[in-house]
Amino acid sequence: MLLIATGNICAMAYGQQQDSSGKAFTAKQESIVSIAAFTANGEQAYLKTALISGLDAGLSVNEIKEVLIQLYAYAGFPRSLNAINTLEGVVKERKEKGINDADGKESSPASFKPSKFEYGKAVQTKLTGSTATGSAQKFVPVIDTFLKEHLFADVFSRDILDYENREIATISALASISGVEGQLRSHLNVGRNVGLSELQLRAIAFIIATKVGWQQGNMVSGYLDDMFKSQDNRAIATANGVTVRKVTFPNRNIAVVGNLFFPGDFEKGKKYPAILIGHPAGGVKEQTAGIYAQKLAEQGFITLAFDASYQGESGGEPRFLEDPAVRVEDFRAATDYLSTHPSVDENSIGVLGICAGGGFAIKAAETEHRLKAVATISMVDLGQLRREGLAGVLKSQIQQRLDEVGKQRTKEANGEPVKYTNYVFNSPGEIPAGATGMYKEGYEYYRTPRGQHPNSQNKYVFTSLDKLMNFSAIDHVELISPRPLLLIVGKEADSRYFSDDAFARAAEPKQLFEVVGASHIDMYDKPGYVSQAVNKMTEFFRQYLK
């Protein structure tokens, strides 16, 4: 296990780490993964987004063209040509907007000595580390000629991309289409032969999982486990002996990404009680959910803070969709993951939800009996909040707002761009005069250095409102009983009525714990209030997770 002494959990991102070879995965290489994957599986809408990101990351037009040329040999001419058409459209659209993307270098003239066949054979040997000829090439010898003279000579001699980046493209394409598992395994080995490190290869698996699908990425990870005779167990050491590992698990075929925290006295082979932690609407796992995951791990629990589907590092398209049904299922998927983890006592799993995450945690726990104890902090029913606004200020506008959603859906069905709306105010100037509570504090936490994180982009898909307005978090909260429920609320929180309502509806055993002086968002990160919540939850979870 590699321990990196840092308190910055964000540094866990594969592209930001270096292994013993000193080689990191660059933003341009990350873009090649997505471009190759969506070229191969034919998802042109996603490919367009990937192409834009690639150009913004510094890939030249010719470098992207070269990826698409490379892939005709692995994904077929139709997919390659379709991708080339999409690239041409993207470049044209950007030029019309005043964005002039660099063409980049042209390929140098190639010289094939002593012959094109022998040149290609030498390249193939360098890539594979073998001079053996496969049975298919022996059965149809002309295929061997085409491979050597065209693919490994004509294509690989083009010096716009080096061998490493060509293999990143090839591996990503093969991982994204079915029926080519043998070739995928072979090219993972080729990738290692040409200099890709284990960390870089695992970065491909991670990006495939989050961009294409968990199953595809998990397959690549499994092959890499076999190749390197190990599992991906990199961990970061944080405070008080706690270590953190990045993990992925599936919500159907969406890859949910989490940070798994281990207590300082962790012993392999021992079973621990575990707590899964859901973040607020608009938040990510590195913010308040990560704070509580760290603090509870210090108390001896394994904790899992995860990004909701469509948000943060987790997969799912369209990005920033807020779908309550999927959000609830995220909690079940996280429970699946913890239930099967070798270091977790499957009969001692609890859940903590913060803000909207608290409402989703309650909704999941109503019928998810593997969750043995339920706690919330500053709980909000996001369905009620979107229907009525805070304290009912938007209640009279429900029908008007749903009309607007319907009109926007029609616009998007006709090809117009996705519309986004903000969770909180983006600047002090947007805050109404005299605003207090969540309106003011939301800006202070999410949009300033206090709690700001690059993966928390303060936006969600506007048409999510039709799904949110149809959702209720606590309509069956009594079903949690006889399992225990703990609702933690700041005494000064303008959202506390959500917790009061849940407490009134819930059956025993239940507790409402009030933190004197704290507001809704004070409970996210202010040490004096956080410590009170952690102390109470430690007592609660130790009592019920046995």
Q: What is the 3-state secondary structure (H, E, C) of 269-318?
A: CCCEEEEEEECCCCCCCCCHHHHHHHHHHCCCCEEEEECCCCCCCCCCCC
Q: Is 224 helix (H, G, I), strand (E, B) or coil?
A: helix
As a whole number of angstroms, the distance between CA 295 and CA 457 comes to: 25
As a whole number of angstroms, the distance between CA 401 and CA 529 comes to: 36
Q: Which residue type does 474 have?
A: I
Q: Which residues pair with 352 in a beta bridge?
A: 277, 375
As a whole number of angstroms, the distance between CA 104 and CA 65 comes to: 10
Those residues of the chain that have pLDDT short of 70 are: 1-22, 231-234
Say which residue the tokens 């309550």 belong to. 324
* Structure tokens given for 157: 């001699």
Say which residue the tokens 């040329």 belong to. 69
As a whole number of angstroms, the distance between CA 159 and CA 529 comes to: 59
Contact 72, 43 (CB under 8 A): no
- DSSP per-residue string spanning 68-91: HHHHHHHH-HHHHHHHHHHHHHHH
* Structure tokens given for 530: 């956080």
pLDDT at 231: 66
pLDDT at 254: 96
Say which residue the tokens 């995951």 belong to. 293
Per-residue pLDDT tens over the stretch 392-428: 989 999 999 999 999 999 999 998 999 999 999 999 9
Nearest to 279 by CA among 528, 535, 456: 456
Contact 529, 515 (CB under 8 A): yes
Residue 378 CA from chain centroid, whole number: 25
As a whole number of angstroms, the distance between CA 333 and CA 15 comes to: 26
| Cα distances (Å, whole numbers) of residue 443 to 46, 48, 458 | 31, 32, 10
Domains in the chain and their CATH numbers? 24-107+158-228 (1.20.1290.10), 238-385+472-544 (3.40.50.1820), 389-468 (1.10.10.800)
Length of the chain: 546
